[in-house]
Structure 1
Amino acid sequence: MFWGSRDRPAAEPLGKKGVMEEQKPLRFKKRETEVYVGNLPPDISEEEIRYLLKDFNPLRVHRVQSGYRCFAFVDLGSAHRVALAIQELNGKPFHSRKLYVNSSRRSPKRPPDGAQRPQELQVSQRPSGRGFAEIAAYLQLTPKAPGDPRETARPRTPLFAVPMEMRGSFLVPLLRECFRDLGWLATVCHTGGDVGLLVTSIVPRTPFFWAMHVTETLHQNMQALFSTLAEAEEQQPYLQDAAVQRGARCLAEYHLGTYGRAWNRCWVVDRVDSWAVVLFVDFGQSATVPVQCLRSLDSDDFWTIPPLAQPFMLRKGILSSYQRTHHILKGRITGALNLEPQILKFEELR
């Protein structure tokens, strides 16, 4: 167990020669290849922390919990990756919180004694975009107490809330602002049968994920879109500061894992000071990027090809491993959610 400054005992009862000794505070070895990640949810696992920093090839994760405070030191292998992680993740909404990410060589700020629990970003049912990234709360059904002692309790069934970025109240207005004509949406929602899905983003600890339906049409759209963006990226001016507002269509760098970075279409969900929260519409992935790093992409010519990825829900189990991203799942689409028809149900073949 780790002790905070308020919880730590003032003395060791049995020190050297029987003398009471003050317990020294815990210290961690700081390295230039480590990044500090603070304001994490108390129940987060090391696997989820590793997934959070998956784009930066984390080598080791050291999770620390002190009372309600949870943070981690993650070894990324190089100071360059540390700088990229800070630029990408610092201030990013995560599980209704705002991440604090900096170099582990800089001591993280500690709340003063008597400080209240860190303020969390409020999760809104309205499509405001706050708390947008990876919002996935789930509830447990509590079985009733059996009237007969011989009666066995039913196993608890998990219920998963639909992530905010997948809800129709958020997604449909976003798509309408980006693509204007949504005639293709009806065809997407009625897809069924045996399919292959290229996973682009996973909502941790839930059955929800984003993926591309692998077809010949997808292959053609990817070639046309990526070649067009590659030719246009240097010609597109950077957005003026006043233009970076919710609803702006723009271009930002997206990290494609081992394939490196490339400029891709995105939509501004929210802005916090000099940072913008954007959704990469072709990958279903959100990111927090500096305002000055966004390029203009407001011409309708860049938005004629429908988004490459769409939301899915696994019928059984969850995609908990970060290693499943950018891999193909084979299975069958069995229908759509009743209240959220834009989310298709997927049954994976084992």
Structure 2
Amino acid sequence: MEIEAVEGLRKPLENMRMAKNENDDKQPTQRLIHPDGPSNRRLELKKTKGQRNNVYIGNLPSEIAEEQILQLFAAFEPVRVRKIVSGLKCYAFVNVGVAKNVALAISHLNNTIYNGRRLVVRDLCESRGCESSTEATELPPLEKVDKDFSMGSKTLSVSRLVKDDSQTCYAVPLEMRSLTLVQMLSSCFKDVGWLTESAMVYGDVGLMVMDSFPHMPYFWAMNLTPETYVKMCQLFNALSVITQEQPFLKSEEVQRGQRCMAEFPGEGGEWNRCWIVDVVASRVILFYVDSGSTACVPAGSVKSLDKDEFWAVPPLVQPFVLLQGVMGNRKMDGTILKGSVVGFHEAEPHILRISITTEE
């Protein structure tokens, strides 16, 4: 199925006039920690609350240097920058001296393209709250989740709906967090570049839903492009040829962090590529890398699949989140969704936000 790609690129950064940075102070941002206790820390934060001189910039390439970030902000008189790499994510906090430069930096840099990435630039105080700006992190904290069987049989998911006076929030499922994906996929593929490439998808898409989280906006789907179709045929043709030849793993060979193959749960399940999340007695918890699903299966039902040739094709699916609404309770596997990718999740930039237009 061919889906016409539509790119909504804004004015490139190269066309923007950048003045030379006169103050190239590379001293990292200091945390406000007082020996007299947290009360003094709050007092100092209140004094600096009105300054609003810190800017957050996200979705940066991990190889970018702090000097290059300063060059991006050269027209806005940057004082210092602190770059942070967390898993596949790279972001930075830039001090631009005065409040007026914060607004200018946001208006000129937000949503612009840098090295193929759409930058996220925002006021750190407004987006995180001034009292937490000096220790801001990109990942939301994990909530304490009570056992809830209505969430289905998800093994790794710890997501939960959180409501406050103004909005409804959902914790990112553990399977979709970059730190977890880096561990799993680097073990399987040695190269996790597909995650950064997936963030470049923009515009109209057609998605085949592979797995979803009941009552949550998150789901795994295959982007229906000619390239994906070719990769899918290549992968499953290779698996079908060697399915009978591959030996079952012996009990002593079943180990956490091992790549393997197993039948997909359900009737008439095909053999799929998997990664062993954990071993519990005589059972293993598997992550099916080409569907995003997790399942607990008998250890004796897992076959060996450790040759690199079977892992040459990158994962067929990637994570998405609905712009509005949640996935229902009904089975969504195989459902075709048409819509438009309008950006990415602000906490996990490899999770794309999609506005649905039709559902088949």
TM over 0.5, shorter chain: yes
| Partners of 2:247 and 2:147 in 1: CA distance | 42
Residues 116-170 of structure 1: CA distance to partner in whole angstroms, max 9, x if unpaired? xxxxxxxxxxxxxxx51x33212110x3xxxxxxxxxxxx521100001100110
Give the C-alpha shift of residue 198 in structure 1: 0.2
List gaps (5 residues or longer) in structure 2: 1-145
| Partners of 2:333 and 2:176 in 1: CA distance | 18
Give the C-alpha shift of residue 43 in structure 1: 6.1
Q: Does 1:287 align with 2:287?
A: no
Counterpart of 2:219? 209
Q: Does 1:299 align with 2:322?
A: no
Q: Does 1:269 align with 2:292?
A: no
Give the C-alpha shift of residue 323 in structure 1: 3.5
Give the C-alpha shift of residue 328 in structure 1: 0.5
> Which runs of structure 1 show a deviation greater than 4 angstroms over 4 or more consecutive aligned residues?
41-45
List gaps (5 residues or longer) in structure 1: 1-40, 53-93, 96-130, 144-155
Q: Is the 8 A contact 1:256 1:262 kept in 2?
A: no
Counterpart of 2:334? 326
Mapping of residues 147-296 of structure 1, within 5 Å = 157-255=167-265, 260-296=268-304
Q: Could you say what secondary structure the match of 2:325 adopts?
A: coil
Letter in 1 for 2:247: P
| Partners of 1:159 and 1:331 in 2: CA distance | 22
Q: Is the 8 A contact 1:136 1:204 kept in 2?
A: no
Residues 259-289 of structure 1: CA distance to partner in whole angstroms, max 9, x if unpaired? x211110000011100000000000000111
2:160 to 137, 142, 149: 137
Counterpart of 2:349? 341
| Partners of 2:239 and 2:169 in 1: CA distance | 40
| Partners of 1:290 and 1:323 in 2: CA distance | 24
| Partners of 1:233 and 1:324 in 2: CA distance | 27
Give the C-alpha shift of residue 348 in structure 1: 0.3
| Partners of 1:276 and 1:137 in 2: CA distance | 25
The TM-score, its normalising length taken from structure 2, stands at 0.56
Q: Could you say what secondary structure the match of 2:186 adopts?
A: helix
Residues 75-101 of structure 1: CA distance to partner in whole angstroms, max 9, x if unpaired? xxxxxxxxxxxxxxxxxxx47xxxxxx
Give the C-alpha shift of residue 173 in structure 1: 1.7
How many positions carry a matched residue from both structures? 213
Q: Is the 8 A contact 2:186 2:192 kept in 1?
A: yes
| Partners of 2:343 and 2:304 in 1: CA distance | 37
Give the C-alpha shift of residue 210 in structure 1: 0.4
Structure having the larger proportion of residues in helix:
2
| Partners of 2:181 and 2:288 in 1: CA distance | 12
Residues 206-253 of structure 1: CA distance to partner in whole angstroms, max 9, x if unpaired? 100000000001111111100100111111111121221111100100
Assess, with a 3 A threshold, how the Cα gap between structure 1 residues 248 and 286 changes in structure 2: closer, same or farther. Answer: same
